[in-house]
Structure 1
Amino acid sequence: MATVAPIKVDAETDRLISHAAHFLGTNKKAIVDEAVREYIDAHRDEINQAVLVALKQIDGTKASMVSVLTGLSREELDELGGVPEA
């Protein structure tokens, strides 16, 4: 069974999703699911490039992984107390 994770959208987007679901005879979940999949397919090359850039920044240390995940530089991490490697 798939895990359900709620998402939040603004009121206008929710209205658009509701109208599309109504007139297409489906539910809001199906509209959002298909829209996200189409968006990802349309931007797959950009996503893959961003993944490659992130992977090149990881040098095997925990600090490099935390840096990529948080967007903080190694220097900023050190200012905050660093990242223990042990």
Structure 2
Amino acid sequence: MATVTAPIKVDAETDQLISHAAHFLQRSKKDVVDAAVREYAETHRDLIQSGVLEALRTLDGSTKSAVSLLTGLSATEIDELGGIDS
């Protein structure tokens, strides 16, 4: 897998937790965050997968379905607001 540098922003308290963990585990902050995210994603794999499947079920290839998914508005609510030109 290729390495990509993509900065992330966390609050000061979280940064301090990462720093302490890295120091006491003798690992880099990057390694601590990488391991934590991978563990979190694995632990919540079922929830993530069900969210992805639900999103795919709501998408039918139309702009309206994409807007509905992104905004949380129903197709009826979108129509009431003026609809979407095809």
- Normalising by the smaller structure, the TM-score range is 0.7 to 0.9
1:6 aligns with 2:7: yes
**Greater RCO (Cα-Cα under 8 Å, separation 6 or more):** 1
CA RMSD of aligned residues (A): 1.8
TM-score when normalising by structure 2: 0.81
Q: What is the letter of the counterpart of residue 16 of structure 1?
A: L
Q: Which residue of 1 aligns with 2:58?
A: 57
Alignment of 1:3-82 (within 5 A): 3-78=4-79, 79=81, 82=83
Instruction: Name the SS of the counterpart of 2:61 in structure 1.
Output: coil
Residues of 2 paired with 1:70 and 1:45: CA distance?
24
In percent, how many aligned pairs have the same letter? Answer: 60
Question: Residues 15-61 of structure 1: CA distance to partner in whole angstroms, max 9, x if unpaired?
Answer: 01000101111110110010000000000000001111111111221
Residues of 2 paired with 1:70 and 1:41: CA distance?
28
Q: What is the letter of the counterpart of residue 70 of structure 2?
A: L
Aligned-residue offset at 1:3 = 2.2
TM-score when normalising by structure 1: 0.81
Off by >4 Å, runs of 4+ in structure 1: 75-78
